[in-house]
Amino acid sequence: MATTSALTARTRARLDASARSAAARAYAPYSQFRVGAAVLGGSGRLYSGANVENASYGLCLFAERTSITHASSEGESSSVAVAVYTPTPTPTLPCGACRQVIREFGPTATIRSTCRGGAAVETSLEALLPAAFGPEDRGRRPTARRLRRS
């Protein structure tokens, strides 16, 4: 397996285990394709997520976006790494839309994918989504992330 980042072996193992256990909690009655994800936030904390499907298919939530949303809504402002697990023979990388959502908080994030088959892939968001549009392209930095409590 090629590795690209400064993640330690222990951090990789934590990310992979978190993504794998999240896949077991996926709600995927329509596709039967269970996906788990885990985000390593800048604080060092992990945030998991899984795909959550809906009878109205277009509303299905993807695991990567669920985990990014989880991290952001818990107060994380950056993503150091995102791991994905699928119960497939080969690893699955995030779809294009998920890459763009990862880009918002993790422009230099490491992306890992593991699978039931045992293989692992490790790459970077920059490699998966080169020359991406991001917050800085709006011409100014985003304003405060949180609403002030009155």
* Catalytic residue list contains 64: yes
Q: From the candidates 53, 64, 76, 122, give the one annotated as an active-site residue.
A: 64
Cβ–Cβ under 8 Å, residues 76 and 39 = yes
DSSP 64-119: HHHHHHHHHHTT---EEEEEEEESSSS--PPPHHHHHHHHHH-TT-EEEEEETT--
Q: How far is the CB of 32 from ligand THU (least distance, A)?
A: 8
In angstroms, give the least distance from the CB of 27 to ligand THU: 9
Q: Closest approach of Cβ 137 to ligand THU, in Å?
A: 24
Q: Which of residues 21-80 bind ligand THU (CB under 6 A)?
A: 28, 31, 33, 35, 51, 53, 60, 62-64
CA 44/CA 117 separation, integer angstroms: 28
Site string for ligand THU, 89-108 (x = CB under 6 A): ---x-xx--x----------
DSSP label at residue 148: P
Closer of 94 and 106 to ligand THU (Cβ): 94
Question: Considering the complex, what minimum distance in angstroms separates the CB of residue 73 from ligand THU?
Answer: 18
- Rounded CA-CA distance 50/4 in Å is 25
What is the strand order of the sheet 79-86 is part of? 46-50, 36-41, 79-86, 110-115, 120-124
Q: Which residues are near ligand THU by CB under 6 A?
A: 28, 31, 33, 35, 51, 53, 60, 62-64, 92, 94-95, 98
Enumerate the active-site residues: 64
